[in-house]
Amino acid sequence: MGRSASLSLGIGDPLLPMPQDFGSAMQSGGDAATNMMMEGPMAPLNDPMAYYKANKYNIGDISKAAGMASKIAQQGKGVSFGAGVRLSASELGGFTIGGSVQALF
């Protein structure tokens, strides 16, 4: 993997994740949870640090899914508006500029 960086600017209410990003994160989080459960209920107790190291990426996927779900659950009721711009750069993909506008009511 190459190095990457990004800068995001927004105005108004925070933007919610896009449906395809949310679906992908939920699928990855579910797969990660299944992988961790398949090791058995005693696996984390036998050697907690080894279990953590072996499942570091699974834990990251679960955390990302939970964070996205929490962001959606915290969205208040009523009318809200937000806009954002993101500039990304990576060795593999070059520069990318993206914008989003979102209104909820």
Encode pLDDT of 27-75 as tens digits. Answer: 999 999 999 999 888 888 888 999 999 999 999 999 999 999 998 888 7
Q: What three-state secondary structure class fits 12?
A: strand
Residues 88 and 66 reside in one and the same domain: no
The closest alpha carbon to 97, from 18, 22, 7, belongs to 7
What is the rounded distance in angstroms from the CA atom of residue 39 to the CA atom of residue 25? 22
Number of structural domains in the chain:
2
Same domain, 69 and 24: yes
- Domain identity same for 70 and 82: no
What is the domain extent for residue 95?
Answer: 1-16+78-105
pTM: 0.66
Task: Specify whether 33 is located in the same domain as 46.
Answer: yes
Which of 81, 78, 86, 85 lies closest to 103, judged by CA? 81
